[in-house]
Structure 1
Amino acid sequence: MKILKNFLQTTLLLVIGTATCLHIASAQETEKETKIKNLIGSGNYVFEAQSALPSRGQVRQLTYGYEIRVSKDTLISYLPYFGRAYVAPVDPSEGGYNFTSTDFEYNVKEGKKGGWDVSIQTKDQRDNKKMALKIQESGYASLQVTSNDRQPISYNGIITAVKKK
């Protein structure tokens, strides 16, 4: 009888502990989703690229620092490029997608399965780029960049708030 009583007490403690952990995890997820929703709504966030997926070749893991900064009036891109370029850049430092744009179209739509679909198209670059950013509610995102001068490339990463310097 004593063994049964100890077993029931232990089981009850495990159930209560698990329920508490699940409730805390759910609250943290809801808080994170709200934060991501506010960032997308404000139009002021950073896409931090973690891996690149060229049209040909293998996935490449990226080091810290490759990103796209989105704000209402400026788009700053610092991303590497792996793939075939149809037109070689005159300046070797222009090998990736490194540019600042102040004239661009920015559209946000709700995704079909939650999240957001963001489309960005530059208008003030020599080779205007189309960017399709698919953002999940958890903050993970995938970016596809299409250009006339290069093969398309995709990046996977996360959405974060702009860090103040």
Structure 2
Amino acid sequence: MKKLCIGLLMGLFIPCIIGCSSTVNYAEASKVIDLVEQDNYTFVATKAYPMDQATMNILGSLRPTGSGWGILNLDYVYGFSLEHTLIKVDLPYFGRVFSPTIDPSKNSVKFKSKNISILKKKNKNRYYVTLQIHDVQNIQTMYLDIFNNGKARLSINFTDRQPISYDGYIDKGL
């Protein structure tokens, strides 16, 4: 009887554990290194982390109980692409804007720039990429941490709003 109970419990728990495993396949380490070295890649944002406590309180009240508080899952359409010296950014913004505009389409992070500086620092299992955008006045600095498995974390500092971070992955350039 004991063996039957143990077998039944194992039969129930093993499919649950297998179902919880990640199904997203990220890029291989050699491909990630090549993409970063060539400055030709796309960052696809999957999650946003607002830094403003009031925004997080509002989002927490709108979400169902037990969901990730302060984490916003994003669609696949958000991110940025870098092609040598051209960057195209399209990211949502959640947080406090110190000097808002009348046009609501300008409240997100959306721009193109050719006047950028790229500083790369390689660690044993990740890249630290600093992007300075010189011709967009409200973007101070973009920091991108790229891991060898293709996962990445982007942090953006602004001059007119609170910072925000995004999780995502690196893909080949468009």
Name the TM tier (shorter chain): 0.7 to 0.9
Q: Deviations over 1:60-99 (max 9, x none)?
A: 0001200110111201100000000001024211111100
Instruction: Identify unmatched segments of 5+ residues in structure 1.
Output: 1-27
2:156 maps to 1:160: no
SS at match of 1:64: coil
Instruction: Identify unmatched segments of 5+ residues in structure 2.
Output: 1-24, 57-69
Which has more radius of gyration? 1
What does 1:103-118 align with in structure 2 at a 5 Å threshold? 103-111=115-123, 113-118=124-129
Show the counterpart of 2:158. 147
Tell which has more relative contact order, 1 or 2 (C-alpha 8 A, sep 6+): 2
**CA offset at residue 129 of structure 1?**
2.9
Alignment match of 2:79 (pick from 64, 67, 74): 67
**CA offset at residue 126 of structure 1?**
2.5
Taking only the aligned residue pairs, the percentage that are identical comes to: 31
What does 1:128-143 align with in structure 2 at a 5 Å threshold? 128-143=139-154
Show the counterpart of 1:121. 132
SS at match of 1:134: strand
What does 1:21-40 align with in structure 2 at a 5 Å threshold? 32-40=28-36
Residue identity opposite 2:110 in structure 1: N
Matched residues in 1 for 2:140 and 2:109: separation? 9
2:93 maps to 1:81: yes
Alignment match of 1:43 (pick from 39, 44, 54): 39
| TM-score, normalised relative to structure 1 | 0.77
Show the counterpart of 1:15. none
